[in-house]
Amino acid sequence: MFAFSAPRPQRRPSLTPMIDVVFLLLVFFMLAARFGVTGAVPLSQPGAEAYAGPPRLVTVGVATLALNGVPLDEATLLAELSRLTAALDDAVVLRAAEGVDLQRLVDVIETLRAGGFTRLVVAE
């Protein structure tokens, strides 16, 4: 017969390398993740307050702007909006035309904010 040595007890696998890998992955994803909001465009909620005064609807086209249906450039738009508003915190409604991308709408919002208008409402 064969003479085998006594069976060795089974070794349990070490969990240390797995724990090291988990901690390395945790550190990697914490460093690679972006926490918080990097940028936000403050807008007013429609219907939050009563709308008063003449209509102020700015239609944002792909390459055009229109105030109450009248095409204008950016400088004229700011001047006309100043004429139509009693104060800079009066509501200005923005509407994107068909095919306008979000960046174009944000650029117009930033232009209006630079002009001093603080209460901007985006309508669908």
Quote the CA–CA distance of 13 and 29 in Å, as a whole number: 27
Neighbour count for residue 79 (Cβ, 10 Å): 12
Quote the CA–CA distance of 7 and 58 in Å, as a whole number: 85
Tokens 């232009």 sit on residue: 111
pLDDT exceeding 70 applies to what percent of the chain? Answer: 93
pLDDT band for 50, please (50, 70, 90 cuts).
low
pLDDT tens digits along 86-122 = 888 888 889 999 999 999 999 999 999 998 888 888 8
pLDDT at 1 over 70: no
Residue range 51-62: mean pLDDT, rounded: 84
Quote the CA–CA distance of 86 and 93 in Å, as a whole number: 15
In terms of DSSP bridges, do strands 65-67 and 70-72 run parallel, antiparallel, or are they unpaired? antiparallel
All domains of the chain, ordered by start, with CATH?
57-123 (3.30.420.270)
Tokens 């988990």 sit on residue: 22
Neighbour count for residue 72 (Cβ, 10 Å): 17
